[in-house]
Structure 1
Amino acid sequence: MSTKTSRRNLLKNAAAAAGAIGGAAVLTESASAATPEAPQKKSYGQPPKNGEAPLFSSVVSYGNLVFLAGVGAHFQGTIEEHTKHVLDELEKNLASAGSSMEKVLKVNVYLNDIKDWERMNTVYKGRWGKIPPVRTTIAPAGGIPGNSLVEIDLIAYI
Protein backbone atom coordinates (compact mmCIF):
# COMPACT_ATOMS: atom_id res chain seq x y z
CA MET A 1 0.00 0.00 0.00
CA SER A 2 1.41 3.38 -0.98
CA THR A 3 1.78 6.34 1.36
CA LYS A 4 -0.85 8.17 -0.68
CA THR A 5 -3.41 5.37 -0.23
CA SER A 6 -2.80 5.00 3.51
CA ARG A 7 -3.16 8.78 3.97
CA ARG A 8 -6.39 8.73 2.00
CA ASN A 9 -7.72 5.87 4.19
CA LEU A 10 -6.64 7.72 7.32
CA LEU A 11 -8.54 10.83 6.17
CA LYS A 12 -11.60 8.76 5.28
CA ASN A 13 -11.57 7.08 8.70
CA ALA A 14 -11.13 10.41 10.46
CA ALA A 15 -14.01 11.92 8.47
CA ALA A 16 -16.22 8.92 9.27
CA ALA A 17 -15.37 9.16 12.97
CA ALA A 18 -16.07 12.90 12.98
CA GLY A 19 -19.39 12.28 11.27
CA ALA A 20 -20.32 9.66 13.83
CA ILE A 21 -19.48 12.01 16.67
CA GLY A 22 -21.34 14.87 15.01
CA GLY A 23 -24.31 12.60 14.40
CA ALA A 24 -24.36 11.58 18.05
CA ALA A 25 -24.24 15.21 19.11
CA VAL A 26 -27.18 16.04 16.84
CA LEU A 27 -29.11 13.07 18.18
CA THR A 28 -28.43 14.17 21.77
CA GLU A 29 -29.50 17.73 21.01
CA SER A 30 -32.67 16.50 19.33
CA ALA A 31 -33.47 14.26 22.27
CA SER A 32 -32.96 17.07 24.75
CA ALA A 33 -35.01 19.44 22.58
CA ALA A 34 -38.06 17.29 23.28
CA THR A 35 -40.31 18.89 25.85
CA PRO A 36 -39.31 17.38 29.20
CA GLU A 37 -41.87 16.91 31.92
CA ALA A 38 -41.94 20.03 34.09
CA PRO A 39 -40.51 19.48 37.59
CA GLN A 40 -43.14 19.24 40.29
CA LYS A 41 -43.02 20.71 43.78
CA LYS A 42 -43.86 17.99 46.31
CA SER A 43 -44.17 18.12 50.10
CA TYR A 44 -43.33 15.15 52.32
CA GLY A 45 -44.52 16.72 55.58
CA GLN A 46 -47.57 16.05 57.68
CA PRO A 47 -50.95 16.92 56.14
CA PRO A 48 -52.48 20.13 57.51
CA LYS A 49 -54.72 19.80 60.56
CA ASN A 50 -58.29 21.14 60.45
CA GLY A 51 -57.81 22.20 56.83
CA GLU A 52 -55.52 25.06 57.89
CA ALA A 53 -52.56 25.97 55.71
CA PRO A 54 -49.32 24.88 57.41
CA LEU A 55 -46.78 27.50 58.47
CA PHE A 56 -44.03 25.76 56.47
CA SER A 57 -43.13 22.40 54.94
CA SER A 58 -40.52 20.19 56.59
CA VAL A 59 -39.42 18.49 53.38
CA VAL A 60 -40.02 19.73 49.82
CA SER A 61 -38.65 18.38 46.57
CA TYR A 62 -38.51 20.07 43.21
CA GLY A 63 -37.33 17.91 40.36
CA ASN A 64 -34.43 15.90 41.73
CA LEU A 65 -33.60 18.38 44.52
CA VAL A 66 -34.87 18.00 48.07
CA PHE A 67 -34.89 20.79 50.66
CA LEU A 68 -35.15 20.06 54.39
CA ALA A 69 -36.21 22.69 56.90
CA GLY A 70 -34.14 23.21 60.00
CA VAL A 71 -34.36 20.42 62.56
CA GLY A 72 -33.59 21.07 66.20
CA ALA A 73 -33.49 18.96 69.37
CA HIS A 74 -36.02 20.23 71.88
CA PHE A 75 -35.04 18.33 75.02
CA GLN A 76 -32.44 18.69 77.74
CA GLY A 77 -29.09 17.28 76.68
CA THR A 78 -25.53 17.91 75.57
CA ILE A 79 -24.46 19.33 72.21
CA GLU A 80 -23.41 15.81 71.21
CA GLU A 81 -26.84 14.36 72.06
CA HIS A 82 -28.59 17.20 70.26
CA THR A 83 -26.39 16.86 67.17
CA LYS A 84 -26.96 13.09 66.97
CA HIS A 85 -30.73 13.55 67.32
CA VAL A 86 -30.81 16.24 64.62
CA LEU A 87 -28.71 14.20 62.18
CA ASP A 88 -30.84 11.09 62.79
CA GLU A 89 -34.03 13.09 62.09
CA LEU A 90 -32.56 14.61 58.94
CA GLU A 91 -31.58 11.13 57.75
CA LYS A 92 -35.16 9.88 58.28
CA ASN A 93 -36.57 12.87 56.38
CA LEU A 94 -34.14 12.31 53.50
CA ALA A 95 -35.13 8.63 53.30
CA SER A 96 -38.83 9.58 53.17
CA ALA A 97 -38.07 11.70 50.10
CA GLY A 98 -35.98 8.99 48.43
CA SER A 99 -32.58 10.49 49.24
CA SER A 100 -29.78 9.83 51.71
CA MET A 101 -27.02 11.49 53.71
CA GLU A 102 -24.54 10.66 50.91
CA LYS A 103 -26.60 12.79 48.50
CA VAL A 104 -26.52 15.96 50.60
CA LEU A 105 -25.01 18.93 48.76
CA LYS A 106 -25.33 21.86 51.21
CA VAL A 107 -25.74 22.08 54.98
CA ASN A 108 -26.39 25.05 57.25
CA VAL A 109 -25.57 24.50 60.93
CA TYR A 110 -26.86 26.95 63.52
CA LEU A 111 -25.30 26.70 66.97
CA ASN A 112 -26.80 28.28 70.06
CA ASP A 113 -23.22 28.88 71.25
CA ILE A 114 -20.22 28.94 68.88
CA LYS A 115 -18.15 27.40 71.70
CA ASP A 116 -19.96 24.11 70.90
CA TRP A 117 -18.46 24.00 67.39
CA GLU A 118 -15.71 21.43 68.08
CA ARG A 119 -17.94 19.13 70.13
CA MET A 120 -20.71 19.30 67.51
CA ASN A 121 -18.16 18.33 64.84
CA THR A 122 -17.24 15.11 66.70
CA VAL A 123 -20.76 13.81 66.01
CA TYR A 124 -21.23 15.54 62.63
CA LYS A 125 -18.06 14.12 61.06
CA GLY A 126 -18.43 10.92 59.07
CA ARG A 127 -22.21 11.04 58.54
CA TRP A 128 -22.04 12.10 54.88
CA GLY A 129 -20.21 9.39 52.93
CA LYS A 130 -16.89 9.90 51.13
CA ILE A 131 -17.60 13.45 49.98
CA PRO A 132 -19.12 15.63 52.70
CA PRO A 133 -21.42 18.48 51.67
CA VAL A 134 -20.42 22.12 51.68
CA ARG A 135 -21.32 23.70 55.00
CA THR A 136 -21.92 27.01 56.67
CA THR A 137 -21.87 27.20 60.47
CA ILE A 138 -23.08 30.22 62.41
CA ALA A 139 -24.15 31.13 65.90
CA PRO A 140 -27.00 33.63 65.49
CA ALA A 141 -26.88 36.58 67.89
CA GLY A 142 -30.38 35.82 69.17
CA GLY A 143 -29.74 32.09 69.49
CA ILE A 144 -31.92 29.30 68.12
CA PRO A 145 -35.69 29.21 68.75
CA GLY A 146 -36.68 26.79 71.51
CA ASN A 147 -34.12 25.11 73.72
CA SER A 148 -32.11 23.37 71.00
CA LEU A 149 -28.33 23.70 71.08
CA VAL A 150 -28.10 23.04 67.32
CA GLU A 151 -30.35 23.31 64.29
CA ILE A 152 -29.46 22.01 60.83
CA ASP A 153 -31.11 22.45 57.43
CA LEU A 154 -29.91 21.06 54.11
CA ILE A 155 -30.27 20.60 50.37
CA ALA A 156 -29.79 17.20 48.71
CA TYR A 157 -30.61 15.40 45.50
CA ILE A 158 -32.80 12.37 44.88
Structure 2
Amino acid sequence: MKEIISTDDAPAAVGAYSQATATDDLVFTAGQIPLTPDGDMLDGAAIDVQTEQALENLEAVLTEAGVGMDDVLKVTVYLEDIDDFEAMNTTYESFFETEPPARSAVGVDELPKGAGVEIEAIAAK
Protein backbone atom coordinates (compact mmCIF):
# COMPACT_ATOMS: atom_id res chain seq x y z
CA MET A 1 0.00 0.00 0.00
CA LYS A 2 1.23 3.48 -0.86
CA GLU A 3 1.84 5.98 1.93
CA ILE A 4 2.10 9.72 1.25
CA ILE A 5 4.91 11.50 3.12
CA SER A 6 4.62 15.20 3.94
CA THR A 7 6.51 17.50 6.31
CA ASP A 8 6.62 21.23 7.05
CA ASP A 9 10.41 20.87 7.54
CA ALA A 10 10.88 20.83 3.75
CA PRO A 11 9.29 22.99 1.07
CA ALA A 12 5.72 22.14 0.15
CA ALA A 13 5.18 20.51 -3.22
CA VAL A 14 4.92 23.15 -5.97
CA GLY A 15 2.81 20.97 -8.26
CA ALA A 16 0.75 17.81 -8.44
CA TYR A 17 3.13 15.55 -6.54
CA SER A 18 4.00 14.41 -3.01
CA GLN A 19 7.24 15.18 -1.16
CA ALA A 20 7.67 11.41 -0.99
CA THR A 21 5.78 8.16 -1.23
CA ALA A 22 6.54 4.94 0.59
CA THR A 23 5.73 1.27 0.59
CA ASP A 24 6.41 -1.23 3.35
CA ASP A 25 10.02 -1.48 2.15
CA LEU A 26 11.00 1.65 0.20
CA VAL A 27 10.75 5.45 0.25
CA PHE A 28 10.80 7.41 -3.02
CA THR A 29 11.41 11.16 -2.66
CA ALA A 30 10.45 13.87 -5.08
CA GLY A 31 13.30 15.95 -6.42
CA GLN A 32 14.43 18.50 -3.86
CA ILE A 33 15.62 21.91 -5.05
CA PRO A 34 17.29 24.74 -3.10
CA LEU A 35 14.00 26.11 -1.83
CA THR A 36 13.85 26.72 1.92
CA PRO A 37 10.88 25.46 3.94
CA ASP A 38 9.89 29.15 4.27
CA GLY A 39 9.71 29.51 0.48
CA ASP A 40 12.98 31.35 -0.19
CA MET A 41 14.55 30.18 -3.46
CA LEU A 42 18.37 30.10 -3.34
CA ASP A 43 18.74 30.11 -7.13
CA GLY A 44 21.32 32.93 -7.03
CA ALA A 45 23.51 31.17 -4.46
CA ALA A 46 26.67 29.21 -5.22
CA ILE A 47 26.08 25.56 -6.13
CA ASP A 48 27.49 24.31 -2.82
CA VAL A 49 24.88 26.37 -0.93
CA GLN A 50 22.13 25.18 -3.28
CA THR A 51 23.26 21.56 -2.84
CA GLU A 52 23.28 21.88 0.94
CA GLN A 53 19.71 23.21 0.98
CA ALA A 54 18.47 20.52 -1.40
CA LEU A 55 20.08 17.82 0.76
CA GLU A 56 18.68 19.34 3.97
CA ASN A 57 15.24 19.20 2.34
CA LEU A 58 15.84 15.59 1.32
CA GLU A 59 16.93 14.70 4.85
CA ALA A 60 13.79 16.30 6.33
CA VAL A 61 11.52 14.32 4.01
CA LEU A 62 13.36 11.08 4.77
CA THR A 63 13.13 11.77 8.52
CA GLU A 64 9.38 12.24 8.22
CA ALA A 65 9.25 8.85 6.47
CA GLY A 66 11.07 7.27 9.41
CA VAL A 67 14.39 6.73 7.66
CA GLY A 68 17.69 8.59 7.41
CA MET A 69 20.49 9.36 5.01
CA ASP A 70 22.17 6.06 5.95
CA ASP A 71 19.13 4.24 4.53
CA VAL A 72 19.45 5.83 1.07
CA LEU A 73 20.07 3.25 -1.64
CA LYS A 74 20.16 5.45 -4.77
CA VAL A 75 20.43 9.17 -5.47
CA THR A 76 19.95 11.04 -8.72
CA VAL A 77 21.45 14.53 -8.96
CA TYR A 78 20.37 16.86 -11.75
CA LEU A 79 22.71 19.78 -12.45
CA GLU A 80 21.81 22.75 -14.61
CA ASP A 81 25.55 23.10 -15.32
CA ILE A 82 27.53 19.84 -15.27
CA ASP A 83 30.66 21.94 -14.66
CA ASP A 84 29.27 22.41 -11.12
CA PHE A 85 29.83 18.69 -10.45
CA GLU A 86 32.95 19.05 -8.27
CA ALA A 87 31.46 21.79 -6.07
CA MET A 88 28.21 19.82 -5.71
CA ASN A 89 30.15 16.64 -4.93
CA THR A 90 32.16 18.26 -2.12
CA THR A 91 28.97 19.27 -0.31
CA TYR A 92 27.24 15.98 -1.17
CA GLU A 93 30.08 13.99 0.43
CA SER A 94 29.46 15.69 3.79
CA PHE A 95 25.95 14.18 3.89
CA PHE A 96 27.13 10.65 2.97
CA GLU A 97 30.46 10.25 4.77
CA THR A 98 30.43 6.44 5.04
CA GLU A 99 28.92 3.83 2.74
CA PRO A 100 27.48 6.32 0.23
CA PRO A 101 24.55 5.21 -1.91
CA ALA A 102 24.68 4.51 -5.63
CA ARG A 103 24.39 7.78 -7.55
CA SER A 104 23.81 9.20 -10.99
CA ALA A 105 24.59 12.81 -11.89
CA VAL A 106 22.94 14.25 -14.97
CA GLY A 107 23.45 17.58 -16.72
CA VAL A 108 20.16 19.14 -17.80
CA ASP A 109 19.12 22.28 -19.67
CA GLU A 110 16.77 23.65 -17.01
CA LEU A 111 15.42 22.88 -13.56
CA PRO A 112 12.29 24.14 -11.80
CA LYS A 113 12.30 27.71 -10.47
CA GLY A 114 15.79 28.41 -11.89
CA ALA A 115 17.51 25.95 -9.52
CA GLY A 116 21.07 24.88 -10.22
CA VAL A 117 20.56 21.46 -8.65
CA GLU A 118 17.75 18.99 -7.93
CA ILE A 119 18.26 15.82 -5.90
CA GLU A 120 15.99 12.79 -5.47
CA ALA A 121 16.49 9.54 -3.59
CA ILE A 122 15.25 6.03 -2.96
CA ALA A 123 15.69 4.69 0.58
CA ALA A 124 15.10 1.39 2.35
CA LYS A 125 12.63 1.32 5.24
| TM-score interval (norm. to shorter) | 0.7 to 0.9
* Length-normalised TM-score, structure 2: 0.83
Which residue of structure 2 lines up, in the alignment, with residue 71 of structure 1? 32
The aligned runs of 1:1-158 (5 Å cut-off) are 40-45=1-6, 55-73=16-34, 74-75=41-42, 76-140=44-108, 142-158=109-125
Query: How many residues are treated as equivalent by the alignment?
Result: 111
Write the distance in 2 (CA, Å) between the matches of 1:95 and 1:146.
Answer: 25
Compare the two structures and name the one with the higher helix fraction.
1
Q: Work out the percentage of aligned pairs sharing the same amino acid.
A: 36
Which residue of structure 1 lines up, in the alignment, with residue 11 of structure 2? none
Q: Which consecutive unaligned segments of at least 5 residues does structure 2 have?
A: 8-14, 35-40
Task: Give the AA of the match of 2:80.
Answer: N
Q: Which consecutive unaligned segments of at least 5 residues does structure 1 have?
A: 1-39, 47-53
1:129 Cα deviation (Å)?
A: 4.5
- SS at 1:126 equivalent: helix
Cα pair 1:102 1:129 within 8 Å, conserved: no
Larger radius of gyration: 1
Q: CA RMSD in A?
A: 1.4
- The one of the two structures with greater contact order (alpha-carbon pairs below 8 A, sep at least 6) is 2
Task: Give the AA of the match of 2:95.
Answer: R
Task: Give the AA of the match of 1:55.
Answer: A
* Length-normalised TM-score, structure 1: 0.67
Cα pair 2:2 2:23 within 8 Å, conserved: yes
